[in-house]
Amino acid sequence: MSIKCILLDEQSKLVDYADLSFLGSEASFLIPFEEDTFRQYQKGDKIIFQVEDKFSQIYDANVSEISYGKILLEEIRNLAPLLHRDVRVEVEMEATIFYSKDGNNVSVDVSLRDLSCGGMRFVCREELSFDYEYEFMTNWTETPIMIKFKILRKESANYNLISYGCEFLNLIRVEECLLRSSVFKIQAMNYKRKRMDEDDAV
């Protein structure tokens, strides 16, 4: 029996997908999707993984051994009661953000690059201020949501674009659940696409 999981780094960034399997009553191991993932861990390291469609099931474990295409685990610990962690997924989606400047409503077309329940990163050509509060309408959730956000980070990106890291503001419980659900659906689609690509390459 195997369970579909995602591997995360300390910043909750997706590292890879993996199958979690069990040997007997106690031993368990992860089989990452990408070969390069094995080189990111060694014996004694902490590894963080989350059941793919269950945001409340997140764990860490010690790597006891890496051999024969498996990462063997020991001392598995459920982190869900200890922390709140938002998974981020890479996306390529277009959106329009809005803000008010000098009494005028301003719209800016942006390209989303990653997304989580708590925030997002997008790129655009415009210089945007940290001082304003922004909003946009989700076009990928089951029910569209108007979300307010603030800009936390700004840095240069390729093709003369500017990258902005943002935090969502004042989400209510229903909106948070819709966003979480949408993030995991995007992950599932990415996972299936990678699996299909791998099968086609064989």
Q: What is the pLDDT of residue 41?
A: 93
Q: Which residue has the higher pLDDT, 79 or 68?
A: 68
Q: What is the pLDDT of residue 55?
A: 58
Percent of the chain with pLDDT over 70: 82
pTM above threshold 0.75: no
Residues 6+ apart with CB under 8 A from 153: 163, 164, 165
**118-140 mean pLDDT:** 94
**79-100 mean pLDDT:** 77
Residues 11-35: pLDDT tens digits? 767 788 899 987 665 679 999 988 8
- As a whole number, the mean pLDDT across the chain is 84
Query: 20: closest CA among 35, 5, 9?
Result: 5
Q: CATH number for the 89-191 domain, one of 2.60.40.680, 1.10.10.60, 3.40.50.720, 2.40.10.220?
A: 2.40.10.220
CA 83 to chain centre: 16
Query: 55: closest CA among 145, 138, 125, 118?
Result: 118
Q: What is the pLDDT of residue 88?
A: 73
Contact 30, 5 (CB under 8 A): yes
Percent of the chain with pLDDT over 90: 45
Say yes or no to pLDDT of 83 above 60: no
Phi, psi of 178 (to 5 degrees): -65, -40
Residues 6+ apart with CB under 8 A from 29: 20, 21, 22, 23, 70, 71, 72, 73
If DSSP codes are grouped into helix, strand and coil, which group holds residue 187? helix
Polymer length of the chain: 202
Q: What is the pLDDT of residue 197?
A: 61
**135-148 mean pLDDT:** 90
Residues 46-55: pLDDT tens digits? 998 888 666 5
Burial class from Cβ neighbours inside 10 Å (0-12, 13-18, 19+) for residue 33 reads middle
Query: 175: closest CA among 118, 123, 90, 133?
Result: 118
